Structure 1
């Protein structure tokens, strides 16, 4: 069965996986067994979404009916593929502007970033399939509905997306404090992708090594960093300023 953004029951979850529904996270009861679960397990071995094995009490709180030991959180939006996103960008009359989120985990930060991105004319947002904030009711609310207006793409790894975008001559810029260059020093009126990192760790080192530029925001106060959604907004509006 399905309620709001959750599906529960083994057969319902199997059908959701087979039909290509965007599953954000799957909760499975610890020690679950049986022939129907074995069928589900065959699908899980090929799955890219996050699976959590939890006690039955957790599942009882998540569902309103007979969950049979399985509850799935599904996305309220449909994701686009990376190739589809590139096709969308090529139809634009302005230079593409992509936003890549490397391990962002807070749903409200995610929603605020989506809202700002839509206001700034971002072509599309790219997120990893695992280890990222889900699109749930809080994300939708914080985005003020912008989540339904902006293409969002999920990829196996952000680093793969970096390399893919670079084959299209798109310059990738990582927001990081590990540089002397500010965002104002970089030419932003060309096809670019902005990479924002995890709230605590920032952009991962493997991605920092692969990007074309690293940039930071000038800081005049005593606090060393900004909230990631605020920093993202400041960077995106510098892009807007240069392009106007």
Structure 2
């Protein structure tokens, strides 16, 4: 059995929190972007239904947590609800694709499925920005928070790269297909070799977690599954290293094609 150490995330600063349901509803109604919402189980308040609708509309994750979690933020008056202000500005996938296509460029999108280690996410974002990725696509659940630690690991790339957060990666793949983007999946058991692929065309690349890989239903939506060949017998590459190898191959092809 593989064991992966989860990084310890630092406690958020009080200035990055929106405390209490009333303040949270007001901030969301004004368009304030949130990284996620923490709420105690079975919370009930007059505004909670409205908060949940706003969260659904903006693909903002809602985490059910014990009250001790909120008290651990060293705050009072939260009434069982706390919002964590987003450190980056999330963008709409279709808007990003339209902008790239209007510029006459072939979109290059990187999709992260189930990657929870924020340092891996930061490292991937850094390489993605350097390799010309147009958008980093993440689900609203099952991914590490893009907090100060993630931004620091990315060397600030997360603040420069377009990040799109969606409620369903499978529906996002539908959007990519409708825009003429071919979807590739990195899968170590695939028969196709990475060096036989054409990344110079509009392309999206799915990367899964090291322990579980890509969610099977999402994997089926890909047009092509491929592997990175290895001479040594080992279970898998680190996901940020694998992403770097794939993206540099894509960048090399695009430079040569240009």
TM above 0.5, one fold?
yes
Q: Hey, what does 1:39 align to over in structure 2?
A: 47
Q: Hey, what does 2:3 align to over in structure 1?
A: none
Question: Aligned pair in 2 of structure 1 residues 67, 146: CA closer, same or farther (>3 Å)?
Answer: same
Question: Aligned pair in 2 of structure 1 residues 53, 166: CA closer, same or farther (>3 Å)?
Answer: closer
Q: Hey, what does 2:198 align to over in structure 1?
A: 187
Report deviation, 1:164: 1.2
* d(CA) in 1 for partners of 2:177, 2:239: 24
Q: Which string of whole-angstrom CA distances, capped at 9 and with x for unpartnered residues, describes residues 211-239 of structure 1? A: 11111101111212111111000000011
* d(CA) in 1 for partners of 2:98, 2:64: 38
How do residues 102-121 of structure 1 correspond to structure 2 at under 5 angstroms?
Answer: 102-121=113-132
Q: How many residues align?
A: 240
* d(CA) in 2 for partners of 1:22, 1:147: 15
- Selected match of 1:223 from 234, 245, 252: 234
Question: Does 2:214 align with 1:203?
Answer: yes
Report deviation, 1:103: 2.0
* d(CA) in 2 for partners of 1:52, 1:240: 37
User: Is contact 1:23-1:72 (8 Å) kept?
Assistant: yes
Unpaired stretches in structure 2, ≥5 consecutive residues: 1-12
Provide TM-score, normalisation by structure 1.
Answer: 0.90
Q: CA RMSD in A?
A: 1.9
Tell which deviates more after alignment, 214-223 or 59-68.
Answer: 59-68
* d(CA) in 1 for partners of 2:224, 2:181: 11
Q: Hey, what does 2:89 align to over in structure 1?
A: 78
How do residues 226-237 of structure 1 correspond to structure 2 at under 5 angstroms?
Answer: 226-237=237-248
User: Is contact 2:24-2:51 (8 Å) kept?
Assistant: no
Report deviation, 1:142: 0.5
Q: Hey, what does 1:66 align to over in structure 2?
A: 77
* d(CA) in 2 for partners of 1:88, 1:4: 34
Report deviation, 1:30: 4.1
* d(CA) in 1 for partners of 2:220, 2:67: 44
Report deviation, 1:45: 5.1
Question: Does 2:31 align with 1:20?
Answer: yes
Question: Does 2:174 align with 1:163?
Answer: yes
Unpaired stretches in structure 1, ≥5 consecutive residues: none
Q: Hey, what does 1:172 align to over in structure 2?
A: 183
Question: Does 2:101 align with 1:90?
Answer: yes
* d(CA) in 2 for partners of 1:31, 1:207: 32
User: Is contact 1:62-1:71 (8 Å) kept?
Assistant: no
Instruction: Name the SS of the counterpart of 1:116 in structure 2.
Output: helix
Provide TM-score, normalisation by structure 2.
Answer: 0.86
* d(CA) in 1 for partners of 2:42, 2:160: 41
